[in-house]
């Protein structure tokens, strides 16, 4: 990647965005009829599908790991073979997917009101259809929409955004090229109303002095995403509830 | 009259007049929505108003008493499914444990078991076709 200019002299990034701009986000809720809740989201060229099942009785060997006075959150993250530039078979046990699954579980354990559903399990399935950086962020945002679609009580939305630091400039919502060029990467997910951090991850090295600036731009990205998701939910809800609201 | 609310949104102050109902939780003296849906205000005893957020998906994890289901249908907690299948009128019932003269209403402890709060004896939850003269629950006629 030597010689590649990630931030031009004019202050534009490789895909033409300014440092504090998100990629275009498009989303749809209720894409599947069979799942209890589902959603599709696009962050620029990253495309993710999420489906939520439950709450239902605990199934299979998961029962042993579950605590019985709260709901057990079962996540599964997978990437389609055609999602990356090079076609690659990724079985479910893939280390990277396992780690991502674990991160998603941590995130939603902190946001779903699990104490309302003892003895039960909530499944979150996330499939990355096209990967262009920020897979975790798109997965979290898609899963949030799917959970809302399924009517599962949450403290708040969960919104995730990544950030980087290139040429003394903090960058919001980085894409694959920026992600893979040995730059620091900070991934954050927050509960936007209270601005509580649910999940923070840092890859590569970043000087401590810059951390707060990068964190600020990531949190700003999360709250921008929140407004987009909120609008989508509002539209979906009004659409879905018109016949219902008239008879109550 | 109701308003649209979303997860995490403050609905009202948690004062002596409002209580947090289904689809909400209380934190820092506020009632906050935990679902995306419509707000319903229900008058309770005295001056109390219960605030609920309802979605178009109604669900409960443990099937509640009187949730009807098809006699052939699979055991399912999702009330929306149960509601769709109300062909034969069978009800999930909560019997009294007859050990004491007046009886105690048994409490559901899981999907398929219930417990007497007094004697702590456990029984499987029952599905029965009821004769109307024995029904004491609200909402059934």
Task: State pLDDT tens for residues B94-116.
Answer: 666 555 556 677 777 877 888 87
Q: How far does CA B40 lie from the centroid of its chain?
A: 16
Domain-embedded: residue A1: no
Q: How far does CA B121 lie from the centroid of its chain?
A: 23
What is the predicted pLDDT for the residue at B71? 41
Domain-embedded: residue A15: no
- Cα(A5)–Cα(A64) distance, integer angstroms: 51
Q: A156–B8: do the CB atoms touch at under 8 Å? A: yes
| Chain A partners within 8 Å of B9 (Cβ) | 193
* Residue B79 sits at the chain A interface (C-beta within 8 Å): no
Using DSSP bridges, classify how beta strands A37-43 and A72-79 pair: parallel, antiparallel or unpaired.
unpaired
Tell me how far CA of residue A248 lies from CA of B16, B52, B139, in angstroms. 27, 14, 17
- Cβ contacts below 8 Å, chain A against chain B, sum to 76
- Cα(A188)–Cα(A156) distance, integer angstroms: 15
Q: Does pTM top 0.80 for this prediction?
A: no
Among B55, B58, B61, select the one facing A120 at the smallest CB separation.
Answer: B61
Domain-embedded: residue A16: no
- CATH number for the domain that contains residue A139: 3.30.230.70
- Cα(A100)–Cα(A158) distance, integer angstroms: 16
Nearest CA in chain A to B25: A155
| Chain B partners within 8 Å of A56 (Cβ) | 77
Among A153, A241, A248, select the one facing B23 at the smallest CB separation.
Answer: A153
A124 and A109 Cβ atoms separated by less than 8 Å? no
CB atoms within 10 A of CB A80: 16
Helices (H), B50-124: 79-84
Rg (CA), chain A: 19
What is the predicted pLDDT for the residue at B85? 37
Containing H/E element for B132? none
Q: A150–B7: do the CB atoms touch at under 8 Å? A: no
Q: What is the DSSP letter of A112?
A: B
What is the predicted pLDDT for the residue at B82? 36
Domain-embedded: residue A8: no
- Cα(B9)–Cα(B30) distance, integer angstroms: 10
Domain-embedded: residue A135: yes
Q: How far does CA A240 lie from the centroid of its chain?
A: 24
Domain-embedded: residue A198: yes
Domain-embedded: residue A49: yes
Residues spanned by the domain of A54: 25-247
- Cα(A20)–Cα(A31) distance, integer angstroms: 31
Domain-embedded: residue A110: yes
- Cα(A102)–Cα(A204) distance, integer angstroms: 20
What is the predicted pLDDT for the residue at A143? 97
B120 and B104 Cβ atoms separated by less than 8 Å? no
* Residue B23 sits at the chain A interface (C-beta within 8 Å): yes
Among A148, A238, A240, select the one facing B7 at the smallest CB separation.
Answer: A148
Q: Which residue, A189, A120, A123, A200, is CA-closest to A161?
A: A189
Containing H/E element for A199? strand A196-203
Task: Report phi then psi at A142, rounded to 5.
Answer: -65, -45
Residue B73 binned pLDDT confidence (cut-offs 50, 70, 90): very low
* The total number of structural domains that make up chain A: 1
Could you report the per-residue pLDDT of B14-70, keeping only the tens digit for each? 888 888 888 899 888 899 998 888 888 888 877 888 888 887 655 545 555 555 444
What is the predicted pLDDT for the residue at A64? 63
pLDDT of chain A along its 248 residues, tens only?
A: 455 788 998 889 999 999 999 999 999 999 998 999 999 999 999 999 999 998 888 877 665 666 778 889 999 999 999 998 888 887 767 888 999 999 999 999 989 999 888 888 999 999 999 999 999 999 999 999 999 999 899 999 999 999 999 999 999 999 999 998 889 999 999 999 888 999 999 999 999 999 999 999 999 999 999 999 999 998 888 877 655 444 44
B10 and A158 Cβ atoms separated by less than 8 Å? no
Among B34, B56, B111, select the one facing A240 at the smallest CB separation.
Answer: B56
């Amino acid at each position: 990647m030597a010689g590649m200019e990630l931030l031009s002299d004019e202050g534009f990034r490789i895909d033409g965005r300014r440092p504090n701009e998100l990629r275009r986000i498009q989303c749809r809720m209720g894409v599947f009829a069979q799942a209890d809740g589902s959603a599709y989201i696009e962050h620029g060229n990253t495309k993710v599908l999420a489906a939520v099942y439950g709450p239902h009785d605990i199934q299979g060997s998961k029962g042993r790991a579950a605590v019985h006075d709260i709901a057990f959150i079962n996540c599964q993250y997978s990437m389609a073979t055609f999602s990356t530039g090079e076609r690659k078979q990724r079985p479910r046990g893939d280390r990277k997917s396992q780690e991502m699954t674990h991160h998603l579980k941590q995130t939603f354990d902190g946001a779903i009101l699990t104490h309302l559903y003892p003895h039960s399990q909530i499944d979150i399935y996330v499939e990355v259809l096209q990967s262009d950086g920020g897979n975790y962020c798109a997965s979290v945002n898609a899963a949030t929409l799917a959970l809302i679609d399924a009517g599962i009580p949450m403290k708040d939305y969960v919104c995730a955004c990544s950030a980087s630091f290139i040429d003394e400039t903090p960058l919001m919502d980085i894409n694959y090229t920026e992600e893979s060029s040995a730059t620091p990467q900070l991934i954050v997910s927050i509960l936007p109303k209270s601005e509580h951090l649910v999940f923070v991850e840092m890859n590569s090295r970043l000087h401590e002095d810059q951390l707060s600036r990068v964190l600020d731009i990531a949190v700003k990205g999360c709250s921008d995403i929140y407004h987009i998701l909120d609008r989508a939910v509002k539209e979906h809800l009004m659409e879905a509830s018109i016949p219902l609201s008239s008879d109550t | 009259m109701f308003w649209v609310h979303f997860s995490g949104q403050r609905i009202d102050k948690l004062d002596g007049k409002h209580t947090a109902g289904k689809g909400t939780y209380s934190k820092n003296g506020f009632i906050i929505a935990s679902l995306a849906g419509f707000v319903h205000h229900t008058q309770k005893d005295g001056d109390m108003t219960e605030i609920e957020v309802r979605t178009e998906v109604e669900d409960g994890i443990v099937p509640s008493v009187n949730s009807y289901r098809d006699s052939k249908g699979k055991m399912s907690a999702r009330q929306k499914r149960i509601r769709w299948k109300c062909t034969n009128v069978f009800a999930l019932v909560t019997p009294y444990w007859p050990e004491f003269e007046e009886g105690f209403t048994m409490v559901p402890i899981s999907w398929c078991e219930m417990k007497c709060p007094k004697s702590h004896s456990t029984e499987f939850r029952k599905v029965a076709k009821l004769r109307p003269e024995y029904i004491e629950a609200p909402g059934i006629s």
